[in-house]
Amino acid sequence: MNTIDRRTVVGLSLAAIAPLGWAQGDWPAKPIALILGFPPGGPNDLVARAMGLRLTEQLKQQVLIENRPGANGNIAASAVSRAAPDGYTFLYNSSSLALSPALYSKNIVDPRKDLVPVNGTAALPLVCVVEASFPANNFREWAAYLRANPGKFNYGSPGAGNLAHVAAAMVLKANGLDAVHAPYKGSSEALQGLIGGSTQFQFDSVNSPLTLIKSGRLKPLFVTSAQRSPVLPDVQTLVEGGSRPIDAAAWQGVMAPPKTPPAIVQRMSAEIAKAMASPEMKAALALQGAYSIASTPERYAAFFSDEMERYKKTVDELGLKLD
């Protein structure tokens, strides 16, 4: 995946946001809610909670993670879009927020109008995992097995329209493979379905199934990144396995309600960048196989807009629609 630093800053200018009364030093005066649209224990939750600890230390106010799962993150996004723009409610978003406009003709939230970009946080490659006894050990063997059994296997995802769902569809189509999608309510639930035999493979952010991989309950077959993941150094990339490259890294960030004062947006952005660059956060990200994409509100806005356009092209090519 291209990094934010390579994006041209376009659109979504924070300069147009109407300021509210706010004095330097007044914020924050009470705890801050970081609303997350997926259940606890998933890839977004893991990073958000680690970052929340750093922000709590820096801001001298608690940053509380609130899980409001449902509709592939759109319930949380809708709640934040209607929240008071006072700097005490933020959205911790996944890349699914940029995917939704391409997948739904009637969106709960239009991220370009209903939310304000604050900063990116982390990105992770996706990994394809199977139950330990599955008769394949890499992409080439997995593809051959699916090709010999078209439409006979199910693959789980954290939800319809999640990047893990779309990435799996991309890999299947690019290699002439056929399997049946089985959406779940979050990564943890999907992984339990995989372990229980309801599904036969799953794409997920590398940090989500890592404990199950290390315990031997799940087997990683390949990662979607250009290079091997440092936390799974023996696992091949798609290209090493014989597939064409697929641009499908999962990424995360923070959004604010519309009309949040620019000074608060800039301050929160700077605090996020500081937290993501801290030794503690770098260590936490390294353990999860993630890396920081924190920059500035302007760069995150441009990145988000660019990703929306890329996802629309991908979704149109795949013929995916969810309503």
What is the chain's mean pLDDT, rounded?
Answer: 89
Which pLDDT band holds residue 18 (cuts at 50, 70, 90)?
very low
Domain presence at residue 196: yes
Return the structure tokens found at 206.
């590398």
Q: Which residues contact 129 (CB under 8 A, 6 or more apart)?
A: 191, 194, 201, 202, 204, 209, 212, 213, 218, 219, 220, 221
Using DSSP's 3-state secondary structure scheme, residue 210 falls into helix
CATH label of the domain that carries residue 260? 3.40.190.150
Residue-wise pLDDT for 206-243, tens only, equals 999 999 999 999 999 999 988 899 999 999 999 999 99
The two beta strands, 218-223 and 32-36, are unpaired
Q: Which residues contact 218 (CB under 8 A, 6 or more apart)?
A: 129, 130, 131, 132, 191, 194, 195, 209, 212
Domain presence at residue 119: yes
Tally of domains in the chain: 2
Question: Distance between alpha carbon 134 and the CA centroid of its chain, in Å?
Answer: 27
Domain presence at residue 323: no
| Residues 131 and 235 occupy one common structural domain | yes
| Residues 262 and 282 occupy one common structural domain | yes
Using DSSP's 3-state secondary structure scheme, residue 122 falls into strand
pLDDT of residue 282: 94
For 98-107, 140-149, 167-176, 269-278, which range has the lowest pLDDT when averaged over its residues? 98-107
| Residues 45 and 135 occupy one common structural domain | no
| Residues 114 and 156 occupy one common structural domain | no
CA distance 44 to 94: 7
| Residues 195 and 225 occupy one common structural domain | yes
| Residues 107 and 20 occupy one common structural domain | yes
Mean pLDDT value across residues 69-86: 93
Q: Is the pLDDT of residue 300 over 50?
A: yes
Site of tokens 């091997």:
228
Last-in-domain residue among 216, 241, 266: 241
| Residues 109 and 135 occupy one common structural domain | no
Return the structure tokens found at 212.
């199950």
Q: Which one is predicted more confidently, 268 or 26?
A: 268
Residue-wise pLDDT for 35-66, tens only, equals 999 989 888 999 999 999 999 999 999 999 99
Domain presence at residue 23: yes
Domain presence at residue 246: no
CA distance 189 to 238: 25
Last-in-domain residue among 215, 241, 267: 241
Torsion, CA 160, CA 163, CA 168, CA 173, rounded to 10: 90
pLDDT of residue 6: 37
| Residues 131 and 166 occupy one common structural domain | yes
Q: Is the pLDDT of residue 88 over 80?
A: yes
Last-in-domain residue among 208, 241, 274: 241
Return the sign of the alpha-carbon dihedral for residues 206, 208, 213, 215: positive
CATH label of the domain that carries residue 184? 3.40.190.10
Domain presence at residue 264: yes
Site of tokens 């801001």:
59
In the chain, the percentage of residues whose pLDDT exceeds 70 is: 92
pLDDT of residue 160: 86
| Residues 165 and 148 occupy one common structural domain | yes
Which pLDDT band holds residue 25 (cuts at 50, 70, 90)?
low
**CA-based nearest residue to 43, from 214, 187, 151:** 187
| Residues 147 and 66 occupy one common structural domain | no
In the chain, the percentage of residues whose pLDDT exceeds 90 is: 75
Instruction: Answer yes or no: are the C-beta atoms of 32 and 61 closer than 8 Å.
Output: yes
Return the structure tokens found at 91.
């959205």
Domain presence at residue 277: yes
pLDDT of residue 226: 86
pLDDT of residue 1: 43
| Residues 47 and 157 occupy one common structural domain | no
Q: Is the pLDDT of residue 10 over 60?
A: no
Mean pLDDT value across residues 165-178: 93
Q: What are the start-end ranges of the E strands in the chain?
A: 32-36, 63-67, 89-94, 116-124, 126-131, 154-157, 180-183, 201-205, 218-223, 250-256, 291-292
What's the predicted TM-score (pTM) here?
Answer: 0.84
Integer CA distances (angstroms), 87 to 56, 92, 162, 221, 267, in order: 14, 14, 28, 43, 10
For 98-107, 113-122, 156-165, 286-295, which range has the lowest pLDDT when averaged over its residues? 98-107
Q: Is the pLDDT of residue 19 over 80?
A: no
Residues of the domain holding 35: 4-123+251-318
Domain presence at residue 194: yes
CA distance 34 to 76: 10
Which pLDDT band holds residue 204 (cuts at 50, 70, 90)?
very high
Instruction: Answer yes or no: are the C-beta atoms of 253 and 117 closer than 8 Å.
Output: yes
| Residues 221 and 259 occupy one common structural domain | no
